[in-house]
Chain A
Amino acid sequence: MLALRVRILCWVALLAALAPLATPTQAQFIPGLAPNETEDLGNGLYAFRHGGYRNIFLVTDEGVIATDPLGPKEAEVLRQEIAKVTDKPVKFVAYSHSHWDHVSGGKIFKDEGARFVAQEKCAENISETPHPDVIPPDVTFADNYKIELGGRSLELYYFGPSHDDCMVVMVARPANILFVIDIGSAPTGWFMEYNPTMSDTHLYNMVPYLRAVEALMEREGIETIVSGHLSITIGDDGQFKPLASTGPAVAIREKREFWEMLYGFVRQEMAAGASVDDVPAKVIANPEFQDEFVEHIRRGYEEEEMWILVRRVATYIASGR
């Protein structure tokens, strides 16, 4: 039997789903897990978790660079956590992408004068589907952008559509740690997707996007990633346990391989004549798929979830999107 200890639940997922229910449910889900925590990653970089969501903030002598505010209540807690570390104001807020669950709640920082930075398509998305809790960006960019403050910096890199069409990865300097949200997670790429319908995800560019992130990390000598969600494992005692916020860069390569292999199995069945509706059952029944793909998945695997994910990929292979 695959040891429970190696089964990593991307219940990132479940926690994200539970977020609207707030702390009591999470406390029941993982006994002893604090509703929020702030972690010092060194060189002025901090990771802040609220429920299943995480952002980073960078503290300098001249002010703070914050990222995704996560929601009005979450941003209030974040503001308090920042104040415990520094009395400097938040000068910038950088958005990772445009989804409301990450970018809501920035008003508290806007009120203290922060400038909001996002990829230009995020601004379009926020304009097209506005939310009262989402502050539109003041500064937009096309490919990459560097926020410099007090001798430290946060670099934002855009590699095309992935999870929404404006997702960026961020590199904090001098910590040299990459912040990745939703498209990859520490400690491994081998977990199931939170929502297998892949809402607002551009499957056609996932592999090139992740390859570009790999190349960036290689070029810049980045060895550590910090993820935008909490990952959880099941311990030997059968209890859920939170995993570390950071992990090795290889998790990005693993996620790319996850997609490449999955696309390959789906293509193979479709080339053999399977319809988009027949593909999921055929792929799941394929012993090679079980041995070479499912075996790698370090939890989160449920056959129904995989059926949905394969069905979504089948549409991508058939339609190009």
Chain B
Amino acid sequence: MISTLLSDLDAGLPARAVARLAVLIGFAAMLVCQSMVIAHAQNAAAPLTSSYETEDLGDGLYAFRAGVERSFFLVSEEGVVVIDPLNVEAAQALRAEITKRTDQPVKYVVYSNSFFERSSGGQIFKDDGAQFIAQEKCAENLLETPRTDVVMPDVTFTDSHVIVLGDQTLEMRYFGPSFGNCFTVMVARPANVMLFSNIVSPPKASLPADPTLANYSLYSLIGFFKVVEAFAAKGEIETVAGGYATIGRGEDGNPVILPSTGPISLVGEQRIFWETLLGAVKAAYDQGMPARVIPKRIDMSQFSEYAGYDERSLQIMTRRIYSLYRIGR
């Protein structure tokens, strides 16, 4: 619906105005959603999440959703940049969506991390001649655990990499281990939107989708968020877009997929969630409370408005977090 609306608007308005409207519409949708019961995508709405959808975020930036995962692409007059091909089927649908909007080729495919559900399926773009770019530890991971449908990066970087293509720029920044050891935050310009493929899932702050917190680098997570917040403030970035779809339910009970964007303050809200949860587990640990007792003693109800709030999930998370204080990781 949002994509259709923006598409209609796009016909009569300059790009920047459309971009602002896109953000406004996204925020308006957020406000509406405050009256909704919000759940994580995987818990509901199978018919919705089995579909593909493209959302115009303005200024040449698009979000493409396949199931619960979203990739992004940037369209310029000199070519296209794809962020995460997701998987073979999704990449085919993604290319079809790109073709609807431009006849320019995909020049670059970038990986936000090395996990297969984000990095698979790039061969279709490789065959078109795209160059693949990833943080160097992503390349190491993919070399260590290769998969036939994952294209190896051609170019790697340590801390940052900038792609300039026509009027579009994509800045890739690595701020240390967070979600995996190569998770990369990106900023698309001129849209000036920060892209998070995971761990921040607009339009609301949320609980992690995986209660086992597999692959979270808990020891460096808070520091990571703080650095990202400072980086966003310095760049006057106001909007964040997420690679993981959040589902809301309307008052009629029907599931709706919420827009991919939200205010940059979500990064801080997500940090506060982690600081509170980690702090609560540490306090219990410091009191000598056993690992299997702590889950029942943690009260996180102040985050009950966060998407995906679920007490059982939180209890499982505390088991994982206990280890941070016991073993250091």
Residue ranges of A at the interface with B (Cβ–Cβ < 8 Å): 14, 17-18, 20-21, 98-101, 125, 128-129, 131, 164, 195-200, 204, 275-277, 308, 311-312, 315-316, 318-321
Contacts and interface: CB of A to CB of B under 8 A. Distances in A.
A319 B215 contact: yes
23 contacts: A14-B290, A14-B292, A18-B290, A99-B326, A100-B328, A101-B327, A164-B329, A195-B323, A197-B319, A197-B323, A198-B214, A275-B42, A277-B42, A277-B43, A277-B209, A311-B212, A319-B115, A319-B116, A319-B214, A320-B114, A320-B147, A321-B114, A321-B215
Contacts of B209: 277
B326 A100 contact: yes
Given A195-B319, A198-B212, 18 more contacts: A17-B292, A18-B290, A20-B290, A21-B290, A98-B328, A99-B326, A99-B327, A197-B213, A200-B327, A200-B329, A276-B42, A311-B212, A315-B210, A316-B214, A318-B116, A320-B114, A320-B145, A320-B147
Contact of A321 (B145, B320, B323): B145
Contacts of B213: 197
B117 A319 contact: yes
Nearest to B323: A199
B288 interface: yes
Contacts of B212: 196-198, 308, 311-312, 315
B180 interface: yes
B190 interface: no
Interface of B: 42-43, 114-117, 141, 145, 147, 180, 209-215, 219, 285, 288, 290-292, 316, 319-320, 322-324, 326-329
A199 B319 CA distance: 9
Contact of A200 (B43, B116, B292, B323): B323
Given A100-B327, A312-B214, A196 B319 contact: yes
A183 to B, nearest CB: 14
Contacts of A21: 288, 290
Contacts of B116: 318-320
B177 to A, nearest CB: 9
Nearest to B40: A277
Contacts of A99: 326-329
In order of increasing CB-CB distance, the 7 nearest A-B pairs are A199-B323, A99-B327, A319-B115, A197-B320, A200-B329, A315-B214, A312-B212
Given A195-B319, A276-B42, A276-B210, A321 B329 contact: no
B283 to A, nearest CB: 13
A143 to B, nearest CB: 16
Nearest to B113: A319
Nearest to B147: A320
A253 to B, nearest CB: 23
A276 B288 CA distance: 33
A262 to B, nearest CB: 14
Given A315-B210, A319-B214, A17 B290 contact: yes
Contacts of B145: 204, 320-321
Nearest to A104: B328
